[in-house]
Structure 1
Amino acid sequence: MQRIDDIGWLGLGLSESKKFTLLDYGRLDRVITEMGDPANQYPTLCVYMGGRSKDACLRRLYPNNNIKRHASTAEIKLRYDIDSLNTTRPVLFTDGDLKCMPSAYPSTNGRPKLERSISWDASSAEKALYIIWARLVFLFADVICVFANDFGDLLDVAGFLLECLSLQAPSSLPSAVRPRVIIVLEAGLDGEQEDIQNVEHFYCKLHKDGPNLREYFSAVHLIRLESSHLSENARYERLRALIMGQLDDMCTVREDHRALFSATHLGALFRLAFQHTAEGICRPFDFVKATRAQDEVPSTLSRSLAHYIEIGAKAGLRYEELATSISSALLMDHYIPGMLALEPRSIFQTLYRPAVRDALHILGWYQPGKTIEELVDVIECRLVDQFELLDRTGQSSLEFRREQLRASSGRICQIRSNKICLVCLFRVAQHRLDCGHTLCDLCAQLFGTPAPDIEYNFTIDACLCCLYQRPLVIDVLPPTMNPTVLAIDGGGVRGVIPLEFLILVQESLGCCPLQDLIDLAVGTSSGMCRSKLEYALFVSVFPVRFLASQHFV
């Protein structure tokens, strides 16, 4: 018996309070897991909207999919073209109509993988479904095929497109990568006066009531199916060629605008867009911010950059030199391995421009002949140039930052700070090399050499800022561990008691030095005596028994 796939993708439900809910049955995630290499496959998405005419078309366009065998009561279904699944550009296609009967417990789809209450007002289930198509599905679509015969007539199709326009563009991506619409008409007599008038009325309605059509759809095409006296496959051949040509064009456009998503990225972005759509429909989905949903730019960045520019200027560096260093740090922060490589100018303007502008305002920075915005533009241009260099060479942003620091070490070596990491410029200083330059835990892990036999132990062989050749061994607190704090108290004749306790602890540890387990040591009430003990234990690293034998207290 053949396996029957559940193709239900999205639906509309009812909560116990009779409010509409947005349902995700997890179909996209299941499709992605069936791909051979989702991180290096770049799917296209084609949307088919209609009823019987749409179903007949799908059977001819995808003959190997056995369309009739798949059924679902979900309002929106998702399938993939079997012939392209394991290629670099698999074709996904979703279909449905605008009819909706929301249910608290859909009968054939089982319980949804995700269910989110809709926070916006919807006068009816059909209106809510309109919005789901327009604000969520079309957000990732490349081509939208609308079957006019299933809608009623061309004016009804125009009404649907104008309804989408009234919701405003759902995406922050360039208008060039918005989906292309193909309106499919049934076969008729070429040149028939009534058909010509219908098409004219259609375009008049679109251009009269929807002057900003290209903000939502990058193109609108009309195509008429071939005459019914031809074979079924022949009737749909022109439509098939048009769809595939549009998908190819959209792939090229997405590459040109750096908006081509791998299957892995598509799945992650869709989950965020699903939540975004449920929460509100007034703001477009920001793809740039979505890439940093789990790792937002720290709110302290503006103060860190202000401090770096200030100490750099005091060290005699020109603003242009500091701008080059800052831009490579921003590049390293965002373009980490596996990151979606969106266009760098939009990355800077969305994530970093406000922080850079605020940093210059904090300093009250002034440069003759240039405004604050022009000074910010200098860093933006540097970042764009550096990204293009990365794109040409295939170099990682981490290695680029390392090389940039080395190349400018003759100048930036004069910069010193005990407040910020001089490698990433984002985080606080946590470790100081003998040369006086500082770095954070994360940079120690990124640029250090891990010890072969000790976890979270890294060696910095040379300073990245001045190339000083004296290794520093850094123990980084594991992410699953809380800091271990040793507080030594008790003075006078009682001062020996803490040391005896430490001897007992050391005996239970065996050959593992006590100092290796302590992240922070503090002393109270005994003044200099306790300070000397802590210095001997954690700076001079004397064994506990040795200190006791020397009557250290």
Structure 2
Amino acid sequence: MAPCTHVQWLTVRQDETNFELQYGNRLHNITKCLPQPFTQYPSVVLFIGNSMKSKALRALYPQSAISTCRKFGIANICIDSTTENEEHPVLLAESVSDYAQAKARGKQTCHETSNHPVPWPGLEIPKRQKFIDHVQARLLSLFTDVMCLFAQDYGGLDAVADTLMTWATIGTASSLPRAVRPRLLIVANISGNNFVSEALRFRLKVLSHSGFSESFSSINVVNVLGASGHTSRGHFSALGQVLKEEILLQRVERVNAHTLFSMVHIAAFFDLALQNFATSPLSAFSYIRASREYFKVSPNFAHHLSSFMSVFADNKLPDHIAWEFIASVIILDAFPPDMHS
């Protein structure tokens, strides 16, 4: 069988009663393509836009087909092939500002797909746009390091601000520290001397939202002029450099927060986050609880701990030995099987 070349990450379907998310098993397929997925720690960059986004992707990643696949899903993802052998590969994800989606032609049998009905809380089913906003804010953002939005494709900075404030109002589902929430990179196209004032006005508008800092860790606005018509590959070189800096800054934050996950962990956590969203789209996602989903803490844990402490007390052993031993056991037990061999 020929290798699968599809890049669909998520597709949304809708009937009279609810929405359904279809997952194309993309992250597991990417995991299989990496030489050392247990010790490779990717960064995920999500590009959102239309024509300007596609031009930037073609210029920055000419070897990738990610810029031509938007119509077959609300989100698509693939690896930047130039980084697949590195310790920190880059995963390129893309979506569109209007979330237009066409049905894929034919029956796709080259990769596994799973369907996840999403029963919406309450009596009224939300409009499609509202549902996808929840997918962006409460599912995809959990796995995004840098989110790059193209203002021209949205209709200007004000439209981007409205979108970001919508997501901030919905709120994040993440249980991780604020420092590792997605970093925002907004690509503007403002001629003349108005960029500085417009960028400042935009920043003040979004930062004034009370929920912004809960959903995003930083915001940066860059200006790319003269991108109409045919553009050379070097036209977006400055944007590419800023992207690399944003990726590096986010990686540092993840290292400091002990949340730099391997590709294997990312794929597994996404499966669990998708299940969590499908079960209850407004619920938070706990990485700790999710990591124990298939090897839960014994219900007798408290009793065993009490018995252990009683033995220490009866033998009048130093307290610090008990604390160190208990801490070590809890930490090692928190790892999945075979992770600490």
Q: Normalising by structure 1, report the TM-score.
A: 0.56
8 Å contact kept, 1:73–1:108:
no
The separation in 1 between residues aligned to 2:4 and 2:21, in whole angstroms, is 25
Q: Note the C-alpha offset of 1:240.
A: 0.2
Which residue is 1:390 aligned to?
none
Unaligned runs of 5+ in 2: none
CA contact (8 A) 1:32 1:264 kept: yes
Q: What residue in structure 2 maps to residue 224 of structure 1?
A: 223
Deviations 1:234-290 (A, max 9, x none): 320110000011111211221121111111111111100110111123332111122
Q: What is the Cα deviation at residue 336 of structure 1? A: 5.7
1:186-205 counterparts in 2 under 5 A? Answer: 186=189, 188-189=191-192, 191-192=193-194, 195-205=195-205
* Secondary structure in structure 1 of the residue aligned to 2:72: coil
Does residue 158 in structure 1 map to residue 157 in structure 2? Answer: no
Q: Hey, what does 1:185 align to over in structure 2?
A: 188
2:191 partner SS: coil
Which residue pairs with 2:60 in the alignment? Answer: 61
Contact 2:149 2:186 in 1 (8 A): yes
SS at match of 1:79: strand
Q: 1:29 to 1:336 in 2, by over 3 A?
A: closer
Structure 1 regions of 5+ residues with no counterpart? 340-395, 399-553
Per-residue CA deviation, residues 296-344 of structure 1 (Å, 9 max, x unaligned), is 11121111111222233223335444323322322332246654xxxxx
Does the 8 A contact of 1:5 with 1:70 survive in 2?
A: no
Conserved? CA contact 1:13–1:102, under 8 Å: no
Give 1:173 deviation, angstroms. Answer: 1.1
User: Structure 1 residues 144, 286: CA separation in 2 closer, same or farther (over 3 Å shift)?
Assistant: same
Instruction: Spell out the pairing of 1:437-456 with structure 2 (5 A cutoff).
Output: none
Alignment match, 1:296: 296
Matched, 1:255 2:255: yes
Shift, 1:158, TM fit: 0.8
Q: For the pair shown, which has the larger CA radius of gyration, 1 or 2?
A: 1
CA change 1:226–1:106 in 2 (3 A) is closer
Say which of 131, 136, 143 aligns to 1:140. Answer: 143
**Structure 1 residue 172: Cα displacement:** 1.1
Post-superposition offset of 1:71: 6.1
Asked if the contact 2:52–2:227 (Cα under 8 Å) also holds between the matched residues in 1, the reply is no
Give the deviation of 1:98 after TM superposition: 4.1
Secondary structure of the corresponding residue to residue 317 of structure 1? coil
AA aligned opposite 1:248: L
The structure-2 alpha-carbon separation of the partners of 1:235 and 1:49, relative to structure 1 and needing over 3 Å to count, comes to same
| Aligned-residue identity in percent | 24
**Within 5 Å, which residues of 2 pair with 1:420-459?**
none
SS in structure 1 opposite 2:92?
strand
Q: Distance in 2 between matches of 1:3 and 1:319?
A: 58
Assess if the C-alpha contact under 8 Å between 1:158 and 1:206 holds in 2. Answer: yes
Relative distance call for 1:321 and 1:65 in structure 2 (3 A) is: closer
Aligned residue number for residue 23 of structure 1: 22
Q: Measure, in 1, the Cα distance between the counterparts of 2:231 and 2:96.
A: 27
Q: Distance in 2 between matches of 1:92 and 1:337?
A: 27
Shift of 1:169: 2.5
Q: Is the 8 A contact 1:4 1:69 kept in 2?
A: no
CA pair 102-248 structure 1, distance change in 2 beyond 3 A = closer
Counterpart secondary structure, 2:136: helix
The 3-state SS of whatever aligns with 1:181 is: strand
> Which stretch shows the higher mean deviation, 131-140 or 327-336?
327-336
Aligned in 2, Cα 1:66/1:102: closer, same or farther, shift over 3 Å? Answer: closer
2:128 maps to amino acid:
A
Following TM superposition, by how much is the alpha carbon of 1:45 offset from its aligned partner in structure 2, in angstroms? Answer: 0.4
Aligned equivalent of 1:271: 271
Alignment-mate amino acid for residue 119 of structure 1: P
Aligned residue runs from structure 1 range 5-154, under 5 A: 5-15=5-15, 18-67=17-66, 70=69, 72-100=71-99, 106-107=104-105, 110=108, 113-121=113-121, 122-154=125-157
**Number of aligned pairs?**
334
Amino acid paired to 1:263:
M
The CA deviation at 1:102 is 7.4
- The verdict on how the C-alpha distance between 1:80 and 1:197 changes in structure 2, with shifts beyond 3 A counting, is same
Deviation, 1:166, is 1.2
Match of 1:389 in 2: none
1:160-215 deviation digits (Å, cap 9, x = unpaired)? 111111122221111111110000012512x13xx45533432232133x134222
Specify whether residues 126 and 314 from structure 1 end up closer, same or farther in structure 2 by C-alpha distance, changes over 3 A only.
Answer: same
Native 8 Å contact 1:119 1:278 kept in 2 = yes
Q: Distance in 1 between matches of 2:271 and 2:336?
A: 21
Answer yes or no: is the 8 Å Cα contact 2:38–2:264 preserved in 1.
yes
